[in-house]
Amino acid sequence: MDKTAYLSVYDKTGLEELAAGLTELGFALYASGSTYKLLAEAGIEAEEVRYSPPVPSSVLKALSGRFPAVSENGVELPAFYVVAANLYPIASIVGQEEFAAEELSNYLDQANSSVLRAAARDFGGVITLSSPVDYGPVLGALKETGGLEPELKKQLAAKAWQHLAAYDATVAQYLSETGNLLGEEVVMSLRRVSGLAYGENRHQQAAFYALSGARPRGLNAARVLSGGEFNLNHYLDLDTAFELAMEFEEPVCVVVKHARPAGVCAAGSLAECLRGALKSDPAGAVGGTAAFNREVDAGTAGVLAGAFIESAVAPGYSGEALKILKAKEGLKVLSLPAPVLSPHEVEIHSVSGGLLIESKDNRLFYSEPACVTRRKPTDAEARSLRLAWRTVKYAKTYAVVLAEGNVALAVSAAESSTYDAVRNAVWKMRDKRGILPGSGPLVLAADAALPLKTLQAALAGGVSAVIQPGGWQDDADCAALCDTKNIAMLFAGIRHFRH
């Protein structure tokens, strides 16, 4: 083993300690650019390796075992046993709002990228350091045994390849705006946003990741204003609740439990919205997440502080509202700006042996729903139908939503048939009808086309207007049945399955 090391790093964390430790062990140090300058200022002896950008040919020649390898300033380079190199943090640059694609080439680190690849390729003979967290353990091993076990060298090389892969994928994602996620070859780089307390269950570990280099949007742009640790279930609820709330133009409150809507109410004020959402499913709202599409005021915060809600999310909070909510023990409070949807947004599902990727269901309708009955919905029915349709889009399939006035009275989801979904929704609605006195006609939204038997069960429950996707063999019979009972029915022309 030749005691030689080449150092060229963007992240200077721990660099002086590494260089000093290697010097104490008798290593001859070689360094380039700003790394050499820092070592010189620290009084650590090293040979300067100069080269013309973008590729350090002499260093690559030395790493490949081809000699003589001489730098542009005449320094002869040996075969290196230790190589420390890391790359420019491209993810933090391309994630900035003002960054333009034309600037990208100015920031791409071709030199250290090629050095890392060459070093990691020869993992049997080279110790490759791509992260400062490995400096200490490697120095310790060199002091104790004079070298590293082959398995540890392999792990360090794998870490370097991962560092390179994440870097390359970040650039690819930025240039394509993730539009290649349904291509023949899919490359993703994920950046850890935060650790989570646990996964779906306490014995499962979990963390929150975002696409590396992506501009913050959605939950990775959220600010935690108060509350304790988050688990995976909190994030699933927050995602469903806030995205549903953002579907509405009028003030709304959405309460979500286990990633499914429990209560939805659109009213004149957020406080009214919250009260309506809580009343629409008092049991289902317990321990749930409340989302708002307006800044939360003190009145709304007072109502929220009196409810058993685990987390709240909104675009903002008044000073007095935040003071009230921070005083409530255990309540997690987040602020989150309205997300800007990209046409390249995708949903990713994990299955045994791989991943399923699909484009995001980010449209409510293709076109205005078609009325297929003689009677058209009244204005009151039309408002309730839109509320129900927005809500059913975020419920698990098969799903049915019964709405009255500005409130979703009953959400039935994750049933194995539309018939069971209707029967369960009617049962839940009857159980709560006394709590929420009638404020208008009862309407129904279904996320799947309705068979005739299912529609009959819905109309028996008192429904006066229906919205469904259509596209089933019973469509004509369903329209005829509605006509005999003076029921209005709309075909949305789009379905919203959610598994």
Report how far residue 235's alpha carbon sits from residue 489's, in angstroms, rounded to the nearest whole number: 36
Mean residue pLDDT across the chain: 91
Which of 38 and 434 is assigned the larger pLDDT?
38
Calculate the alpha carbon distances from 473 to 73, 340, 451 in Å: 81, 38, 8
Report how far residue 226's alpha carbon sits from residue 106's, in angstroms, rounded to the nearest whole number: 40
In a domain, 313, yes or no: yes
Report how far residue 468's alpha carbon sits from residue 463's, in angstroms, rounded to the nearest whole number: 13
CATH number of the domain to which 281 belongs: 3.40.140.20
Same structural domain for residues 290 and 396? no
In a domain, 190, yes or no: no
Domain containing 11 equals 4-176
Same structural domain for residues 281 and 403? no
Same structural domain for residues 320 and 388? no
Same structural domain for residues 22 and 146? yes
Q: Among the listed ranges 71-80, 110-119, 164-173, 432-441, which one has the minimum average pLDDT value?
A: 432-441
pLDDT at res. 183? 77
- Residue 271: CB partners within 8 Å, gap ≥ 6? 297, 299, 300, 302, 303
Q: Which of 282, 317, 335 is the last residue of a domain?
A: 335
Quick one: tokens of 106?
């100015």
Q: Are strands 309-314 and 288-292 parallel, antiparallel or unpaired?
A: parallel
Same structural domain for residues 268 and 412? no
In a domain, 200, yes or no: no
pLDDT band for position 435 (50/70/90)?
A: very low
Asked if 85 and 134 count as a contact pair (C-beta separation under 8 A), the reply is no
In a domain, 212, yes or no: no
pLDDT at res. 176? 75
The average pLDDT across 464-476 equals 96
In a domain, 201, yes or no: no
Same structural domain for residues 221 and 167? no
Same structural domain for residues 438 and 388? yes
Phi-psi region of 268 (alpha: psi -120 to 50; beta: other; left: phi over 0): alpha
Q: Looking at the DSSP assignment, which residues form a beta bridge with residue 234? A: none
Closest C-alpha to 393, from 364, 359, 425, 424: 364
Tell me the helices (H) and strands (E) count for the chain, helix number first: 16, 21
Q: Which of 127, 151, 176 is the last residue of a domain?
A: 176
Report how far residue 46's alpha carbon sits from residue 360's, in angstroms, rounded to the nearest whole number: 54
pLDDT at res. 259? 92
Asked if 164 and 86 count as a contact pair (C-beta separation under 8 A), the reply is no
Same structural domain for residues 275 and 374? no
Report how far residue 412's alpha carbon sits from residue 289's, in angstroms, rounded to the nearest whole number: 18
CATH number of the domain to which 27 belongs: 3.40.50.1380
pLDDT at res. 189? 83
Same structural domain for residues 147 and 101? yes
Interval 276-334: pLDDT, tens: 999 988 888 999 999 999 999 999 999 999 999 999 999 999 999 999 999 999 899 99
pLDDT above 60: residue 436: no
In a domain, 341, yes or no: no
Same structural domain for residues 327 and 457? no
pLDDT above 60: residue 46: yes
Q: How many CA atoms lie within 13 A of 166 on its CB side?
A: 22
Same structural domain for residues 399 and 487? yes
Report how far residue 222's alpha carbon sits from residue 480's, in angstroms, rounded to the nearest whole number: 49
Length, in residues, of the chain? 499
Interval 254-273: pLDDT, tens: 999 999 999 999 999 999 99
pLDDT at res. 240? 95
Rg (CA), the chain: 30
Report DSSP letters for 312-347, one per residue: EEES-B-HHHHHHHHTSTT-EEEE-PPP---TT-EE
* Number of structural domains found in the chain: 3
Interval 201-217: pLDDT, tens: 999 999 999 888 777 77
The average pLDDT across 131-158 equals 94
pLDDT at res. 319? 95
What is the four-CA torsion angle of 380, 382, 384, 387, rounded to 10 degrees?
A: -150
Same structural domain for residues 133 and 262? no
